[in-house]
Amino acid sequence: MPNQIMNTVREAANKTGLSQACLRRWIAERRIGYVRLGRAIRITSVEIDRIIAKGVVPARERKNAGGN
């Protein structure tokens, strides 16, 4: 984990578009990884990228009604 960017919950919320409350709930439920430094909680940029990648839903190919 050396040289990873550590984000506060607020920073992670801004980057993901999620609320701080949502991220704190996910931390409590252990749905996301985090680093505890004393009382401070940090979320690595790798974990933020994983959250975003996990939520990606690919587009479906559209079927044309006219057979084009």
User: Structurally, how many domains does the chain consist of?
Assistant: 1
* Residue 61 maps to a domain: no
* Residue 43 maps to a domain: yes
CB-based contact 46:7 (threshold 8 Å): no
Q: What is the pLDDT of residue 62?
A: 84
Quote the pTM value.
0.78
68: pLDDT strictly greater than 60: no
Residues of the domain holding 27: 6-54
pLDDT tens digit sequence for 31-67: 999 999 999 999 999 999 999 999 999 999 888 766 5
* Residue 33 maps to a domain: yes
* Residue 39 maps to a domain: yes
Q: What is the pLDDT of residue 63?
A: 81
pLDDT tens digit sequence for 6-31: 999 999 999 999 999 999 999 999 99
The full length of the chain comes to 68
* Residue 62 maps to a domain: no
